[in-house]
Structure 1
């Protein structure tokens, strides 16, 4: 599960960075078509990884919070995890809607196509793009808070929360 956690972290930051970079590209830039292709494929890969993580949370027992954690910290950590998952799924759905807005399938690394099942609404690419951007920035903000909480446990509380994650 740690491998899934840290793989998710790396993919989220990589996709966020590439997403920002893509927005700066001009139409004639050689990466204008290349980066979105990779961004979509890696985004679909991340979606699969997160689904596997959620299945793992459901199928296997999770580590118990440390006894030193206050009840409010436990509730906040639980809420934080579900907000992170919710934002990830918001990104996956909005990304899918962007990728298939023209009613064409999206390629997964050229191995197979993810079909365009429907066109949800008018101006789908723009609306889904705005939702995607809001979810991405919100996710990065919550990830920063999540990391700060782990550092707080390590440096201020001097407990094993961060060590267990590593």
Structure 2
């Protein structure tokens, strides 16, 4: 498999980033829902948020790399079989997913640093607090964080269902390209 994207398929780096981010986002969503149910005396009460914060920072780094990678290795053009509305819808959904993901990560950062303490990323490095002591920063950011997380889950499920529709109903190469397979139906 090639490292970079081609005109007919995604390359290894793009595929790895796509699926790693997807799995991490769902894992973080589950972890977030679970950790807010923990009581003060639960063993994971302090550990779960630290794990969530550390993974969140690594996810932010992966997303930044993913955006930069798109400039070095442009995505394959839409399939010729796509209608104008399909092309527009796909572009809007991808932009929306990126905006939601970055917004979730920023709101998570604001929750985590509201007390002025840096985020320790698994003892490897720290991310300093820049906007601390902003009143109800943690509460407002927490509410935004939760709603954005639900939004990204709903939209990503629709994204996945659309890929399955392309694969099983339209029988085109949309899903195959994200799995690293070439498609004869590629091109603008």
TM band (smaller chain): over 0.9
Listed as ranges, the gaps of 5+ residues in structure 1 are none
Q: Which has the higher contact order (CA 8 A, sep 6+)?
A: 2
Q: In the alignment, what sits opposite 1:115?
A: 128
Q: In the alignment, what sits opposite 2:77?
A: 64
Q: In the alignment, what sits opposite 2:161?
A: 148
Q: How many residues align?
A: 166
Measure how far apart 1:121 and its partner are: 2.8
Distance 1:58 1:163 in 2: 22
Q: Which has the larger radius of gyration?
A: 2
Once superposed, which parts of structure 1, at least 4 consecutive aligned residues long, lie more than 6 Å away? none
Q: In the alignment, what sits opposite 1:159?
A: 172
Q: In the alignment, what sits opposite 1:12?
A: 25
RMSD of aligned C-alpha atoms? 0.9
Listed as ranges, the gaps of 5+ residues in structure 2 are 1-13, 180-188
Q: Provide, for residues 9-48 of structure 1, a one-character-per-residue CA deviation record: whole Å limited to 9, x for no partner.
A: 1100110010010011001100000010010000110100
Q: In the alignment, what sits opposite 1:21?
A: 34
TM-score in terms of structure 1 length: 0.97
Distance 2:86 2:33 in 1: 33
Distance 1:119 1:104 in 2: 8
TM-score in terms of structure 2 length: 0.86
Measure how far apart 1:99 and its partner are: 0.6
Distance 2:73 2:178 in 1: 17
Aligned pairs (5 A) from 1:76-155: 76-119=89-132, 121-155=134-168
